[in-house]
């Protein structure tokens, strides 16, 4: 997740990209507010209150400087790392790009590198910027925001030192399989036991969907394993 230069006070009925960053940060800390949709509704407020209570902060449901600081604090094991620009490009290669609005296989309005615009089909109510189509650069910005949940999960769950390349490889993996799956994985257990050499083997276990071995997942896991071990962004 990119650092927020200005940290606006957010509260119920706030909207926009900063709310998306807030929702992603909450999810990365394990306080999932529901969809990362930029709408500060009752579910997001409830997640904020739960996070504030857990952190010993004033429980008011309002995201001010202290709550931002607690949310954006550095993780213990991953050296407070952030997904690099090369890491964003690495993930983008596997996600596929579409510069115009489309309905994904589940029927939800989507654009760019699989960025969810809204639940349900595209209906003309989308922001004008998106209706006009977006560039790969803008799509990468949206991807960085979307990857914040995976980024936070890696940063908060890993208790050993990581290089930037290792961090990016694990964020790519987590973005693909989900933060919950990563937290429950044997991969994370072995890594936190300092068995770095076991990570490529564990990555390559995650290559099936619906009981079928998928070539696309094989290629992605192979690239993630090479990035983790060799530090090369292919």
Residues with a known catalytic role: 95
Answer whether residue 152 is part of any domain. Answer: yes
Answer whether residue 30 is part of any domain. Answer: yes
Same domain, 220 and 157: yes
pLDDT over 60 (residue 105):
yes
Same domain, 213 and 160: yes
Same domain, 132 and 152: no
pLDDT over 90 (residue 193):
yes
Domain boundary among 113, 142, 171: 142
Same domain, 177 and 109: no
Domain boundary among 87, 109, 142: 142
The pLDDT value recorded for residue 78 is 58
pLDDT over 50 (residue 58):
yes
CA distance 162 to 77: 8
The pLDDT value recorded for residue 102 is 94
Same domain, 161 and 210: yes
CA distance 140 to 223: 19
Sequence-separated (6 or more) residues with CB below 8 Å from residue 184: none
Domain with 43 in it? 17-71
Q: For 7-11, what is the mean pLDDT?
A: 87
Q: Is 20 left (phi over 0), alpha (psi -120 to 50) or beta?
A: alpha
């Amino acid at each position: 997740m990119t650092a927020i230069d200005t940290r606006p006070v957010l509260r119920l009925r706030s909207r926009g990209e900063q709310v998306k960053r807030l929702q992603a940060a909450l999810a990365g800390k394990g306080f999932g507010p529901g969809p990362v949709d930029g709408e500060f509704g009752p579910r997001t407020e409830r997640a904020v209150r739960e996070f504030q209570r857990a952190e010993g902060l004033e429980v008011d449901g309002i995201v001010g400087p202290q709550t931002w600081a607690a949310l954006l604090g550095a993780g213990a094991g991953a050296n407070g790392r952030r997904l690099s620009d090369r890491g964003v490009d690495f993930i983008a290669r596997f996600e596929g790009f579409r510069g115009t609005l489309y309905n994904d296989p589940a029927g939800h309005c989507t654009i760019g590198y699989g960025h969810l615009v809204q639940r349900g089909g595209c209906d003309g109510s989308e922001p004008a910027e998106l209706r006009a189509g977006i560039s790969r650069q803008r799509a990468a910005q949206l991807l960085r925001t979307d990857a914040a949940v995976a980024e936070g999960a890696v940063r908060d769950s890993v208790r050993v030192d990581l290089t930037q390349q290792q961090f990016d490889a694990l964020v790519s993996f987590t973005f693909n399989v989900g933060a919950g799956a990563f937290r429950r994985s044997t991969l994370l257990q072995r890594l936190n036991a300092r068995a770095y050499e076991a990570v490529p083997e564990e990555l390559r276990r995650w290559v099936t969907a619906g009981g079928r071995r998928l070539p696309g997942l094989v290629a992605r896991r192979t690239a993630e394993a090479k990035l983790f071990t060799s530090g090369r962004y292919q």
